[in-house]
Structure 1
Amino acid sequence: MTRILPFLFFLFISYSALAQKTAKEYFVSGNQKFNAGKYPDAIKEYDQVLKLEPKHAATYTNRGVAKDRILDYRGAIEDFTQAITLNPKYTEAYLSRGLSKYNLKDYRSALLDYNKGIELNPKDAKAYNNRGLVRYSLKDYSGAIADYTKAITINNRYEEAYYNRGAPKYNLDDKAGACADWNKAKQMGVKEADQYLKKFCK
Structure 2
Amino acid sequence: MNAIAQKSTLDYFTSGNKKFKSGKYSEAIKDYDEVLKQDPEHVVTITNRGVAKDRLLDYRGAIEDFTKAIALDEKHVAAWTSRGLSKYNLRDYRGAISDYNKAVELSPKQAKTYNNRGLARYGLKDYQGALTDYNRAVTLNPKYAEALYNRGAPKYNLGDKTGACADWAKAKALGVREAEQYLRNYCK
Q: Which amino acid is 1:153 matched to?
A: T
TM-score, with normalisation over the residues of structure 1?
A: 0.91
> Are residue 98 (structure 1) and residue 117 (structure 2) matched?
no
Note the alpha carbon deviations across 1:86-107, whole angstroms, 9 max, x for none: 1011111000000000000011
Q: TM-score, normalised by structure 2?
A: 0.98
Look up the match of 1:27. Answer: 13
* Corresponding residue number in structure 2 for 1:9: none
Distance in 2 of aligned mates of 1:17 and 1:126: 39
1:152 aligned onto 2:152 = no
Matched, 1:171 2:157: yes
Q: After superposition, give the CA deviation of every residue in 1:115-136 in whole Å (9 maximum; x if it has no partner).
A: 0001000000100000000010
Q: Which residue of 1 aligns with 2:111?
A: 125
- Pair 1:51-2:52 in alignment: no
CA distance in 2, matches of 1:126, 1:177: 21
> Which sections of structure 1, spanning at least 5 residues, go unmatched?
1-15
The alpha-carbon distance between structure 1 residues 164 and 17, as it changes in their structure 2 partners (threshold 3 A), is farther
Counterpart Cα distance in 2 of 1:129 and 1:17: 44
The Cα shift of 1:196 comes to 0.3
Separation (CA, whole Å) in 1 of partners of 2:108 and 2:21: 27
The AA in structure 2 aligned to 1:59 is T
Query: Is 1:63 paired with 2:37?
Result: no
Secondary structure of 1:105's partner?
coil
Q: What is the identity, as a one-letter code, of the residue corresponding to 2:132?
A: A
For structure 2, list consecutive stretches of 5 or more residues without a partner in the other structure.
none
The alpha-carbon deviation at position 20 of structure 1 amounts to 1.6
2:75 partner SS: coil
The structure carrying a bigger helix percent of its residues is 2
Give the CA deviation at 1:17. Answer: 5.0
Write the deviation string for residues 14-46 of structure 1: whole angstroms up to 9, x where unpaired. xx5543211111011001000000000000000
Counterpart CA distance in 2 for 1:151 and 1:198 is: 25
Quote the RMSD (CA, aligned, Å). Answer: 0.8
| Partner residue of 1:88 out of 74, 81, 87 | 74
May I ask how many residue pairs the two structures share in their alignment? 187
Q: Could you give the per-residue CA deviations for residues 31-88 of structure 1, whole angstroms, max 9, x where no partner exists?
A: 1000000000000000000001001000010000000000000000000000001101
Q: Is residue 59 of structure 2 the alignment partner of residue 73 of structure 1? A: yes
Are 2:182 and 1:196 equivalent residues in the alignment? yes
Partner of 1:11: none
Q: Which residue of 2 aligns with 1:8?
A: none
